[in-house]
Amino acid sequence: MAAPIPGSPAGFAGILLAAGRGSRFDPSGARSKLLQELPGGERVAAASARALLAAVPRVVAVVRPDDEATAHLLRDLGCEVLVCADAGSGMAASLACGVRRAQDASGWLIALADMPFVRAATMAALVQAVAQGAEASIAAPMHDGRRGNPVAFGRAHLPALLALTGDQGARSILNNNPVNELAVDDAGILLDIDTPSDIQ
């Protein structure tokens, strides 16, 4: 497991969403994008998990019932793996599943397993912004004028996170609440692995 970044608020939990099917990456479903190797040799999901593990003391990784390979990979890295039976109904179901498992946390950093280029320091800064009691108890990163992922939520948003449904993730919460937008020099917040060409 990666060494925690100094100053990481101890009560936060990371939720790593790793339950998508990745149909745009491989419509046949034969190749999991999360298990593909990046140019440096690390697998996509592993790179995403390592950054999150370095930023928060606890990570709950949410996976599909039929994806034991990803579950095994993330468990070996130090994640607490949660199989979400409702993962097929959309990202919101996986998100709510993960938050429910870690609902005793003081806040949550919601990260996507197909975004392996986000820096751990960016994740830690988002957690710090919410943990320090900023006016907005949601923090999202901005790069070149665009908002990206991951996003940190304070404890006040627990009921709304648990009530999420559909495939929009937490977008409705972001649209209806003040968001502390942190400018970061990290293009990784905008880069996900959607197609094979994105691996490079």
Residue 6 falls within a domain, yes or no?
A: no
Residue 126 falls within a domain, yes or no?
A: yes
Say whether pLDDT at 108 is over 90.
Answer: yes
Mean pLDDT of 72-81: 97
Note if the pTM is more than 0.85. yes
CA-nearest of 48, 55, 47, 54 to 16 is 48
Residue 151 falls within a domain, yes or no?
A: yes
The burial class, CB within 10 Å (0-12 / 13-18 / 19+), for 104 is: exposed
Mean pLDDT of 69-87: 95
Residue 25 neighbours by CB distance under 10 Å: 21
Please tell me the predicted confidence (pLDDT) of residue 24. Answer: 66
Work out the mean pLDDT of the chain and round it to a whole number: 89
How many structural domains does the chain have? 1
Please tell me the predicted confidence (pLDDT) of residue 5. Answer: 45
Residue 29 falls within a domain, yes or no?
A: no
pLDDT category at 99 given cuts 50, 70, 90 is very high
Residue 97 falls within a domain, yes or no?
A: yes
Residue 27 falls within a domain, yes or no?
A: no
Say whether pLDDT at 186 is over 60.
Answer: yes
Residue 106 falls within a domain, yes or no?
A: yes
The pLDDT tens digits of the residues spanning 163-185 come to 988 777 788 899 999 999 999 99
**Which CATH number do you get for residue 46?**
3.90.550.10
Please tell me the predicted confidence (pLDDT) of residue 1. Answer: 45
For residues 166 and 173, give the distance between their C-alpha atoms in angstroms, rounded to a whole number. 13
Please tell me the predicted confidence (pLDDT) of residue 22. Answer: 63
Say whether pLDDT at 43 is over 60.
Answer: yes
Residue 132 falls within a domain, yes or no?
A: yes
Q: What's the domain range around 172?
A: 12-20+35-199
Please tell me the predicted confidence (pLDDT) of residue 56. Answer: 95
3-state secondary structure the chain: CCCCCCCCCCCEEEEEEECCCCCCCCCCCCCCHHHCECCCCCEHHHHHHHHHHHHCCEEEEEECCCCHHHHHHHHHHCCEEEECCCHHHCHHHHHHHHHHHCCCCCEEEEEECCCCCCCHHHHHHHHHHHHCCCCCCEEEEEECCEECCCEEEEHHHHHHHHCCCCCCCCHHHHHCCCCEEEECCCHHHHCCCCCHHHHC
Residue 134 neighbours by CB distance under 10 Å: 15
* Better-scored residue on pLDDT, 119 or 134: 119
Please tell me the predicted confidence (pLDDT) of residue 187. Answer: 96
